[in-house]
Amino acid sequence: MSDWSLPRLFESLHRKIDTELSGARDALNHPGTKGDTSEAVWVGLLKTYLPERYRVCSAHVVDSNGPFSEQIDVVIFDRQYSPFVFDFLGAKVVPAESVYAVFEAKQSINAAMIEYAREKVASVRTLHRTSIPIPTASGHAAPGSPKHIIGGLITLESDWKNPPLGAALLSKLDTDLCDLKRLDLGCVAAHGVFGFNAATGTNDHTCSSCATTKFLLELIARLQMLGTVPMMDVRAYSRWVDT
């Protein structure tokens, strides 16, 4: 009989990420360096474990009318049907049509960080997204509707104590449930995960000793439910060439 164990594998994955996040917090003194390192840990996790159809990076998001989002710590986007990513000396820009999910990565969750993450998420969701008919063997299918962009906040710790995930967190999350600013999914690596439950219209949380693994699997499940982003109109962007 095999010595492999799913519980041990999941625990090992969580322990690796938790150790890296804790190391960034404890060993690095400069706030910017600490933030960049934590961001890189989350990006590395998702790059490794998300299906190949998805790409992950820190980036700005742009639409075909010209507006840009704020800088986003973690952008999950399509490269199967979205043809380009701008990359200039490491500064990346992705088209709004390609985006599946965006997350802010911080050291700790609190009321101010929730508001901050909401504004960052909204700066992406407000962007215009094109959609054109899809060619198939039996003709052109109607343009698909843009998907709801998953937005969230991922941290190592919680500034709330007793409990770190509880009524105070949920009360803050429930203060703004509009599609534009809602946080759909989050992780506090040291304590658990939280998320918006579309069936009940409320937020809930789950304490877990393997929070990052639980977050990863829940994120993949939610991405599966989104399906594939619609086909973007590349010519809508080309009008900016030579202007």
Active-site residue list: 73, 104, 106
CA atoms 94, 42, 175, 202: torsion sign: positive
Calpha distance 44→180 (Å, rounded): 27
Q: State the CB neighbour count (10 A cutoff) for residue 208.
A: 19
Query: Which residue in this structure is represented by tokens 């094109």?
Result: 130
Full DSSP string of 176-196: --STTT---EEEETTTEEEEE
Rounded CA-CA distance 76/100 in Å is: 6
Supply the DSSP symbol for 241: T
CA angle 161, 167, 172 (to 5 degrees): 95
DSSP characters over 210-240 = THHHHHHHHHHHHHHHH--PPPP-THHHHTT
Q: 34: which residues sit within 8 A by CB, 6+ positions away?
A: 24, 25, 28, 107
